[in-house]
Amino acid sequence: MKRLLAALFVLACGTACAQSVSFSGHMGDKALLVIDGAPRTLAVGASQSGVRLVSVTASAAVIEVGGKQQTLGLGGSPVSLAGSNSAGGGTQIVLSAGDGGHFVTSGSINGKAVQFMVDTGATTIALSAAEADRIGLKYKDGEHLTGSTANGTVTGYRTSLGVVRVGDVQVYNVDAAVLPMPMPHVLLGNSFLNRFQMKRDNERMTLDKKP
């Protein structure tokens, strides 16, 4: 009986117990994923350790875990899957620096998958109008704001995000700015970061949620 239970446990973990995954490259319709630290090559529609590849492009891969989809950016930090089915009650986020020393990670805004980049110089979370439209954010009734960029003065909107999630950590009612120019990532600014105690150790950043 013990051997049978052990065998069943191993089988279950082989299909549903992956802890982390990142996207490191692609070959045609195949994605190079790192699942629990081990490199894996998956074709679209194939599964490994509970991770199914939905689609892949040169810059991103969409995976499905436990019926939920997540977008992985090329070279981004590993995404924790342990909390993919949790209620978002986690208290710690651990990020690893990618190319150029930037901390990039998958996450979600109001349940819609986005790619964040940590920006300690940004007052709030900032995202492009195109990204805000894509995730269905209602921002045009918000207060207008004016800011200066390298390309001159821009006019955007202030808004509040109901739920911002990274890994299994959720933060509620987070101030944000929607800007008209294209942006490759959603900037994870201080309206989110100030809810955490931040510690950086070389290429590793740890965010511990404040009480």
Q: pLDDT tens digits for 112-133?
A: 888 999 999 999 999 999 999 9
pLDDT tens track for 58-96: 888 888 887 777 888 887 766 766 444 455 678 999 888
Domain range list for the chain = 16-85, 86-211
Mean pLDDT over 184-204 rounds to: 94
Domain 86-211 matching CATH 2.40.70.10: the answer reads yes
- Please answer whether residues 95 and 117 qualify as being in contact, where contact means their C-beta atoms are separated by less than 8 angstroms: no
| Cα–Cα distance, 147 to 132 (Å, whole number) | 18
| Cα–Cα distance, 41 to 150 (Å, whole number) | 41
**pTM, whole model, 2 decimals?**
0.61
Fold of 16-85: SH3 type barrels. (2.30.30)
Helix (H, G, I), strand (E, B) or coil at 209: strand
Task: Tell me, yes or no, if the two domains 16-85 and 86-211 fold the same way.
Answer: no
DSSP state at residue 52: E
Bridge partners (DSSP) of residue 104 are 117
